[in-house]
Amino acid sequence: MADAGRAGVGVTNPSPVLELAHVSKSFVGVRALQDVDFRLRPGQVHALVGENGAGKSTLIKVATGVYHPDAGEIRLDGSPVHFASPLAAQEAGISTIYQEINLVPLMSVARNLYLNREPRRFGLIDAARMRRDARRVLREYGVNVNVARPLRELGLGAQQMVAIARAVQIDARVVIMDEPTSSLEHREVETLFGVIERLRHQGIAILYVSHRLDELFRICDAVTVMRDGRVVHTGAMRDLDRLHLVSLMLGRDIAEVRRHGTTDFGSAHHIGDRPVLRAENLSSRRVLQDVSLEVRPGEVVGLGGLLGAGRSETAKAVVGALHTEAGRIEVDGAQVRRNSTAAAIRAGAVLLPEDRKSEGIVPNLSVRENIVLAALPRISRAGLVTRAKQDEIVDYFMKRLRIKASSPEQKVGELSGGNQQKVLLARWLCLNPKVLLLDEPTRGIDVGAKAEVQGVIDELAKDGLGVVLISSELEELIEGSNRVVVLKDGRKVGELTGDQVSEDALMQSLAQAPGGTPRTDG
């Protein structure tokens, strides 16, 4: 393959504003960054890609003063700098938008936007002006809300927009965006791209981290690919194609990537006739109205819809985690009591939640403990669980799901996102479920792990499990599902089967669906 790297980014190649030269960083025995060179130039959007654990986060944290490099130096406008703290980096004009929204939910929108740099009058904070300014600024970002209300009342997308607005408002010369679109709706992503375009014209350097390849090719000028703590490629975005980029990230042959496709869902397999899950007319105050869903053994049913359409809510309602006022749920022909997660789990319907951090893993427990957590009541005899039995189960799933951990005793919090997800999956699988509901199973995990998780989902379906899949990535949803149920505003508005399961058809279905306009606050 032709190496396009080192060729330079283009005719206009202004000198870098931020530069990392030969930077290394280790954590107790693990080398997170090794001799990394990285340059950010004004007016350019620079993509930073790599699998989880490739060192992207560490690089960002070194550049923003959260970590200090063990070796090498950071240069700002060519001269070496040392950022003692995130504040020092901010004052030097480096502004960061983190993947997990780092704002204060209980404080008002306006106060979040101006925290630590509030407009003053006679030495005191000028609250009225702050609100006025906040309203004006946020309008540019398509966020029309009452800025005096607490931030947490906003949808995730709008919160992310506030974080972005905040980062840009600081007189930034470098803006670092870590997965900024992971909680944004399509419309909001467009707004963000508009903002990025504006920043580029103002000569601000942007470091853009994303797993979404489409975005990278659309807005990035340059790209740096990292793998195992090293930079494996730097060059112009346009000199790479998708396949090339993926092969660089994975360190695999292009041919291999081509053979596997960009998702790892397999071909068709046998689907049973009798539904293993039948949910009828689920209704929940304000969020769901008469949603019905049927899944047969071996079938993957996708839930399509925009943010706030009621996809997660439907999944939660099925397993009793969201209160429903009406409806009927059957698992394997037997009716299940609504509003009881215990009943749902007993019946064999389990949900892998969207937010693994807060709803799933227990970071301080080991892989083994996390896996057997839900299964404990079943495998215990007279309240005691033999260690041998535990080890057997854990061993089986670690192999089957290819969980990468130093040992079953490693703390789950130390694993990568993809492996955490697999641990969660293993936890539910040892309950021998009949229906598996997966809410964004691959969000925030890297390309390689994603493919593995997708492969696992496929295998599970082949084994006769009924699967409900929620994904905001169209490609994943379309390639992974045998059938797609389309939701909008908490109602089922369509269903795609057979050849209809395509991106075009889904988007048409979304566009045509009757009903109110999408919620503005997510």
Binder to another protein among 57, 58, 96, 263 (CB under 8 A)?
96
Residue 82 interacts with another protein (CB under 8 A): yes or no: no
Q: What string of H, E and C letters represents the secondary structure of 175-244?
A: EEEECCCCCCCHHHHHHHHHHHHHHHHCCCEEEEECCCHHHHHHHCCEEEEEECCEEEEEEEHHHCCHHH
> Of the candidates 7, 30, 71, 115, which one interacts with another protein according to CB under 8 A?
115
How many residues are given for the chain?
Answer: 522
Among 9, 45, 76, 103, the residue binding another protein under the rule CB under 8 A is 103
Minimum distance from residue 256 beta carbon to another protein (Å): 39
521 binds another protein (CB under 8 A): yes
Contact call for residues 146 and 154 (beta carbons, < 8 A): no
Residue 409 has which token pair? Answer: 């005793």
Going by the DSSP 8-state scheme, the letter that residue 499 receives in this structure is: G
Q: Which stretch binds another protein (CB under 8 A): 83-91, 226-234, 355-363, 502-510?
A: 83-91
Residue number with CB closer to another protein (71 or 87): 87
- Geometric angle at alpha carbon 299, from 296 and 265, rounded to 5°: 175
Q: Is 127 in the site for another protein (CB under 8 A)?
A: yes
Q: Does 252 bind another protein (CB under 8 A)?
A: no
Using the rule CB under 8 A, is 90 a contact of another protein? yes
* Residues 136-155 interacting with another protein (rule: CB under 8 A): 144-146, 150, 153
On the CB side of 466, CA atoms within 13 Å amount to 23
Residue with tokens 């699998």: 51
Given strand 334-336, what is the order of strands in its sheet? Answer: 288-295, 277-284, 326-331, 334-336
Binding residue (CB under 8 A) for another protein from 71, 125, 255, 376: 125
* Shortest separation between residue 87's beta carbon and another protein, angstroms: 3
CB of 213 vs another protein, minimal distance in Å: 28
Which of these ranges, 40-48, 110-118, 269-277, 383-391, lies near another protein under the rule CB under 8 A? 110-118
Please, what is the angle between helix 242-250 and helix 447-462, to 10°?
90
**Residue 299 region by backbone torsions, left for phi larger than 0, else alpha for psi between -120 and 50, else beta:** beta
55 residue type, one letter: G
Q: Does 516 bind another protein (CB under 8 A)?
A: yes
- The piece of 102-110, 232-240, 335-343, 449-457 that touches another protein (CB under 8 A) is 102-110
Please report how close the Cβ of residue 106 comes to another protein at its closest, in angstroms. 4
Window of 39-47, 118-126, 195-203, 401-409 that interacts with another protein by CB under 8 A: 118-126
Residue 404 C-beta: closest distance to another protein, Å: 27
Question: Is there binding between residue 132 and another protein (CB under 8 A)?
Answer: no
Residue choice 286, 381, 387, 399 for contact with another protein (CB under 8 A): 286
Q: Please state the φ and ψ torsions of residue 150, each to the nearest 5 degrees.
A: -60, 145
Q: Which member of 292, 341, 500, 520 binds another protein (CB under 8 A)?
A: 520
**Does 285 help bind another protein (rule: CB under 8 A)?**
yes
Please enumerate in sequence order all residues whose Cβ is within 8 A of that of 417, keeping only pairs 6 or more positions apart, or say none.
52, 356, 444, 445, 446, 449
DSSP letter string, 394-441: HHHHHHHTT---SSTTSBGGGS-HHHHHHHHHHHHHTT--SEEEEEST
Give least dist CB 116 to another protein, A: 5
Between residues 105 and 251, which has the closer beta carbon with respect to another protein?
Answer: 105
Token pair 């269903």 is found at: 495
169 binds another protein (CB under 8 A): no
DSSP class per residue in 306-359: -TTSSHHHHHHHHTTSS--SEEEEEETTEEE-TT-HHHHHHHTEEEE-S-HHHH
The smaller minimum CB distance to another protein, of residues 96 and 247, is found at: 96
Rounded to whole angstroms, the Cα distance separating 392 from 388 reads 6
Cα–Cα distance for residue pair 260/254, rounded to 1 Å: 10
| Residue 26 sits in the site that holds another protein (CB under 8 A) | no
118 binds another protein (CB under 8 A): yes
CB of 124 to another protein, least distance (A): 4
Residue with the two structure tokens 């350097």: 205
Q: Is 489 in the site for another protein (CB under 8 A)?
A: yes
Minimum CB distance to another protein, residue 134 (Å): 13
Tokens matching residue 117: 């740099």
Please tell me whether residue 215 binds another protein under the rule CB under 8 A.
Answer: no
Nearer to another protein, 288 or 351 (CB): 288
How many residues touch another protein under the rule CB under 8 A: the total is 34
239 near another protein (CB under 8 A): no
Stretch in the footprint of another protein (CB under 8 A) among 33-41, 95-103, 208-216, 393-401: 95-103
The whole-angstrom separation of Cα 369 and Cα 146 is: 45
- Asked if residue 128 binds another protein (CB under 8 A), the reply is no
Cα distance between residue 40 and residue 25, in whole Å: 19
For residues 58-77, which are near another protein according to CB under 8 A? 66
For residue 386, give every residue at least 6 positions away whose Cβ sits within 8 Å of its Cβ, in sequence order, or none.
none
CB 5 within 8 A of CB 233: yes
Query: Which residues make up the interface to another protein (CB under 8 A)?
Result: 66, 85-87, 90-91, 96, 98, 102-107, 111, 115-116, 118, 124-125, 127, 144-146, 150, 153, 285-286, 489, 516-517, 519-521
